[in-house]
Amino acid sequence: MSLNIKVYFDFVCPFCFLAEETLSQVIKGKDINIQWMPFELRPEPSERIDPWNDPLKLNSWNNFIKPMADKLGINMKLPKLSPHPYTNLAFQGYHYANELGKGDEYIRKVFKGFFEDELDIGKAEVLSNLAEQVGINKEEFIEVLNAKKYKGKQEEALKQAYEKADITAVPTIMIGKEIIQGNTSKENLKKIIDKQLI
């Protein structure tokens, strides 16, 4: 029996990147379908995240996020790019990539582009380079972004997250009737998933 998992996430959320990596390790060899659900932590025109000028966020990074990334074998950095970019454009790109059957690969590439290579994922040119690396035509991708062809789809996705699903934090992982908000261990995820697969 196939198991469906919904994951609400944002590309600039370090815990979401950790969750993506953890999930990819846990679901290997299992009949699982992950549905990635967009959620913008700071939609325009709200103030953007500037972790380098926030002692609490820096403390969280050094004492919790980085050690966890190291444990998972992720070469994760707190991007020097500050404040962090808006992610609406990256999500518009995701909707297009997903229609081409490249959604999962695109998500991973954008996460890595931001948290490993410190790229500005708020720019169409940067996103089109990342899309090209997963086999999407760069010129067509940038054309889609510039024409804002998936702007409406992203607005619908956000409405679904904010209003219908009442999501208030990311990552939020829905596995059957189980809802996990925030970070959890690989062991706990595996236990919940295995229970649902029985």
pLDDT per position as a tens digit, 31-46: 999 999 999 999 999 9
Structure confidence at residue 40 (pLDDT): 97
Structure confidence at residue 165 (pLDDT): 92
What are the structural domain ranges in the chain?
3-197
CATH tag, 3-197: 3.40.30.10
Question: Could you tell me if 162 and 46 are in contact, meaning their C-beta atoms sit under 8 angstroms apart?
Answer: no
Kindly indicate the confidence band of residue 156, based on its pLDDT and cuts at 50, 70 and 90: very high
Instruction: Tell me the pLDDT tens digit for each residue of 109-146.
Output: 999 999 999 999 999 999 999 999 999 999 999 999 99
Query: How much is the pTM?
Result: 0.95
* Dist CA 18 CA 43 (whole Å): 22
Q: Which of 65, 111, 54, 108 is nearest to 87 (CA)?
A: 111
- Considering the chain, what is the average pLDDT of its residues? 95
Please say if the pLDDT value at position 1 is more than 80. no
Question: Could you tell me if 131 and 138 are in contact, meaning their C-beta atoms sit under 8 angstroms apart?
Answer: yes
